[in-house]
Amino acid sequence: MYHLYILECADKTLYTGITTDLKRRVFEHNSSALGAKYTSARRPVALVYSRRFKNRSNASRAEAQIKKLTRLEKIALIKNFSIKK
């Protein structure tokens, strides 16, 4: 199982990625050298969107589509499918 996710960084920018372990990956983005270079300078980050996929191929395709969206389109996506906190 793969997870596509969007993080909101401390500076309000958005970061998109995929992983097999969502909880571990968010932890890495927030507190270790294993997080992305982009997010390490913008901590803390918060998970604002996630979606599950059966395989890496589908998750990667969806990630590429989301990365092509404008910021406003990404915000609309997040609002329509927001994570219950």
| Strand ranges for the chain from DSSP E | 2-8, 14-19, 46-53
pLDDT of 24 > 70? The answer is: yes
Q: Quick one: what percent of the chain has pLDDT higher than 70?
A: 95
- List the domains of the chain with CATH numbers: 2-80 (3.40.1440.10)
What pLDDT was estimated at residue 81?
Answer: 80
* Secondary structure class of 77 (helix, strand, coil): helix
- pTM of the predicted protein model: 0.91
How far the first Cα of the chain sits from its last, in Å, is 22
pLDDT of 32 > 80? The answer is: yes
Cβ-based neighbour number of residue 37 at 10 Å? 7
What pLDDT was estimated at residue 82?
Answer: 59
In contact, 32 and 23? CB cutoff 8 Å: no
In contact, 8 and 49? CB cutoff 8 Å: no
